[in-house]
Amino acid sequence: MLFDGKRFAVEIEEQIRQRVSEMETKPKIVSVLVGSDPASELYTRLKSEAAKRVGVEFEVVRLDTGIGKEELEKRVREIGEYTEVTGLMVQLPIPGLKENEVREVLAAIPLTKDVDGLRSEESGIMPATVRAIISIMESVADDRLWQREIVVVGGTGAVGKSLIAWLSKKHEVTAVAVNSQTKDLAGDLAQADTVISCVGKPGLITGEMVRSGIVAIDVGAPQGDMTKEVYAKARVAVPVPNGVGPVTIACLMENLGDIYVRKSKI
Q: Alpha-carbon distance 119 to 257, whole Å?
A: 17
Eight-state DSSP code of residue 121: H
Collapsing DSSP states into helix, strand and coil, what is residue 199?
Answer: coil
- Asked if residues 43 and 91 have their Cβ atoms less than 8 Å apart, the reply is yes
250 is in an annotated binding site: no
- Asked if residues 162 and 127 have their Cβ atoms less than 8 Å apart, the reply is yes
Q: Alpha-carbon distance 138 to 147, whole Å?
A: 13
Q: Taking Cα atoms as reference points, which of 245, 209, 239, 246 lies closest to residue 225?
A: 239
Q: Taking Cα atoms as reference points, which of 257, 247, 253 lies closest to residue 31?
A: 253
> Alpha helices of the chain — where are they, by DSSP H?
5-21, 38-54, 69-80, 99-106, 120-123, 128-140, 158-171, 185-190, 228-233, 244-264
- Asked if residues 210 and 168 have their Cβ atoms less than 8 Å apart, the reply is no
- Residues of the binding site for NADP(+): 221
Binding residues: 221
